[in-house]
Amino acid sequence: MRLFLTLFAIFMFSTTQSHAGPARWKHEWPRTDFTKSSVDFNDILSGGPPKDGIPAIDDPGFAPASEIKDIGDQEPVITLTYNGIAKAYPLRVLMWHEIANDAIGDMPITVTYCPLCNASIVFDRRLDGKVLDFGVSGKLRYSDMVMYDRQTESWWQQFLGKGIVGEMNGKQLKMVPSRVIPFSKFKATHPDGQVLIPRNTSTRSYGANPYAGYDSLKKPFLYNGNYDGPVPPLAYVVAVGKSAWPLSDIREKGKVENGDLIITWQGGMNSALDKSSIATGRDIGFVSVQKKIQTAL
């Protein structure tokens, strides 16, 4: 709880400069073209850390899943497979870095995690003939991380993978299919799959959650908008296209069918944002989404 309160104090202090705007940002971002933007600058707030204050991972290290001993079976990991290659990125690591610039096979990717909205999204880093590298700007928009690319120092909305400020304004990154599942499931399915490990375990409190109790709060950090939705603002939801279902409803029923979709809940994955240790977070489970296939008789 002490870590959580410390972060809360940092965030609250930062709001005094949250609406600084381009005139104040320019000294830190001299290469960013603030004349090109598709968002209201007043919606972009300082999250506390400066540019790269949360360091992205640029030289990721990996170990086979079967050799990993320090990750709890129920801890969440972001997983993806591509051309027979399987990789996992534990939230216990990304909690402290938020971005990992990597490649899977011949595809350059950036693996992103925003704790404040619990958004785990993987993007193809290739765009317009370039391979982009991403970092953490230290800014938030609607409580979601604002990334930046190091090639043009344009700003990107993590949740959308869309350029919102700078030369890349309006550009769209391609999302790469990924899942968040418990480590035990990844290890059982891909014992030789590669798991992201820290290069130096002494630099961060890997496995700790500095946002203890966050997903039980009544409102997200640094979001001043109005909300009148059918579930609490920080409730877990499963979104498919333009439709969404509360995770609590799916958990209660076990399975939800909607049109040609089948959404199934399974227990055995910890919340990364509950207890101060991710390994002891409450079991929120995880889901699989399948599509019914029509077969001709």
- The band of 12, judged by pLDDT with boundaries at 50, 70 and 90, is very low
Least confident piece of the model among 86-90, 108-112, 240-244, 279-283: 240-244
Average pLDDT over residues 96-124: 97
pLDDT value at residue 293: 80
Strands of the sheet containing 61-64, edge to edge, are: 61-64, 194-197, 85-90, 76-82, 179-182
pLDDT digits (tens, 9 = 90+) for 257-285: 999 999 999 999 999 999 999 999 999 99
Average pLDDT over residues 32-43: 97
> Residue 252 corresponds to which tokens in the numbers above?
């209660």
Integer Cα distance of 31 and 43 in angstroms:
21
Integer Cα distance of 116 and 138 in angstroms:
13
Amino acid at the residue 39: V
- The band of 222, judged by pLDDT with boundaries at 50, 70 and 90, is confident
The CA distances from residue 256 to 28, 182, 265, in Å, are: 48, 21, 9
* CA 46, 51, 55, 59 torsion-angle sign: positive
Average pLDDT over residues 39-64: 96
pLDDT value at residue 297: 60
Integer Cα distance of 287 and 160 in angstroms:
21
Report pTM.
Answer: 0.92
pLDDT value at residue 13: 41
Average pLDDT over residues 54-79: 97
Average pLDDT over residues 114-130: 97
Q: Which residues, in sequence order, are CB contacts of 73 under 8 Å at separation 6+?
A: 182, 183, 184, 187, 268
The CA distances from residue 147 to 18, 127, 154, 170, 262, in Å, are: 17, 15, 8, 14, 33
Q: Where are the beta strands (DSSP E) in 150-285?
A: 155-157, 162-165, 174-176, 179-182, 194-197, 237-240, 243-246, 255-258, 261-266
pLDDT value at residue 2: 36
pLDDT value at residue 19: 57
> Residue 203 corresponds to which tokens in the numbers above?
């630099």
Collapsing DSSP to helix, strand or coil, 104 comes out as strand
* CA 174, 177, 183, 187 torsion-angle sign: negative
> Residue 110 corresponds to which tokens in the numbers above?
């950036």
- 196 near 61, Cβ under 8 Å? yes
Average pLDDT over residues 85-90: 98
